[in-house]
Copies of this chain bind each other. A is one copy, B any other.
Amino acid sequence: MTVDAHLLRTFVAVARLGSFSAAAAELQYTQAAVSQQIAALEADLKVQLLRRRPVEPTEAGTRLLEHAVPILLRMDAARSDVIRMTAPPAARLIVAMTPLAAVISPALATLAQLRTRMPRLDVTVRAVSRAEAAEATARGDADLGLTDGLAAPSDPLPALAPLSAVGVAEAVVAVILPAGHPLAPRGSAGLQLSDLADARWIDAPGVAPELADLRRAAGTEGFRPAFRYAGTDVLTLLRLAAEGHGLTVAPFGTPLPTNLPGIAGVTAVPVSAPRLVHRVELIHGTLPAGSPAALFAAMLA
């Protein structure tokens, strides 16, 4: 009655990478093995899960993905959770942070306070993409995750199944505009999010909020990417915006290093989007009482 978790994992990899061979490389299998695994899964469920060439999930496959991802996340969480019980209490803290979360949340300042209270604590901050944060925390590669993203103000925090999420900061959404951009003058005059749907956007899943969230909030098909930045560097993203490659959003209040070459003149203009805020969330599994991670979480909340 159980679906083999192993098969689920390769299915997720294939779906994510859009390729059997790429998934095989990532998972250290041969293509043939991956092909057989997918075939086995499809045979087990008696449904086609992937369309080939191009490789993309069918409707049933999409549905399965919605289950598989949280299941695998939770399996990782279960393992690290149980194993951690035997491990000696760590005098170590690893925080996985999304770049914007690091910039705009009080986390780094709080971390400094923590270090004065626990001077010998071994602290590591790992920069991760939004997608990696939950995974790293679930796997136990990080004790805590700190992510940023767009959400409806009234949205409950996302139920990351095994993980808890607590909001630590919220900000108005702002658009980053290059110097002299025609929209810049409207400034605080209440720029509407929907006005920007047809602009050229930068898709930067590693750093910026998801364009899909903008679409959802605006209820349009706009916000189409004209440029894709695959990195995780805030300065690079700002530079791209400054050079006019496209628009991007950031939490209003993000400090802009306008004294840097190529970034000068960039402005962040708050956007009127009643159904949208930028929120920073702290995610974590079970925090051993008295652990540095628990202390840090308490200080941040």
Contacts and interface: CB of A to CB of B under 8 A. Distances in A.
Contact of A67 (B63, B74, B86): B74
Interface in A6-42: 6, 8-9
A77 B241 CA distance: 44
Interface of A: 1-6, 8-9, 45-47, 49, 59-60, 63-64, 67-68, 70-72, 74-79, 81-83, 85-86, 139, 156, 159, 161-162, 286
For the residues of A in contact with B, the DSSP-based class is helix
A2 B5 contact: yes
A60 B74 contact: no
How many of these chains are in the complex? Answer: 2
Contact of A2 (B75, B82, B83): B75
A10 to B, nearest CB: 10
A70 B2 CA distance: 13
Contacts of A76: 1-2
Contact of A83 (B46, B81, B161): B46
Given A70-B74, A162-B67, A82 B47 contact: yes
Given A74-B67, A75-B3, A47 B85 contact: yes
A77 to B, nearest CB: 7
A82 B70 contact: no
B79 A46 contact: no
A82 B45 contact: yes
Given A5-B4, A86-B47, A68 B78 contact: yes
Contacts of A1: 9, 75-76, 79, 139
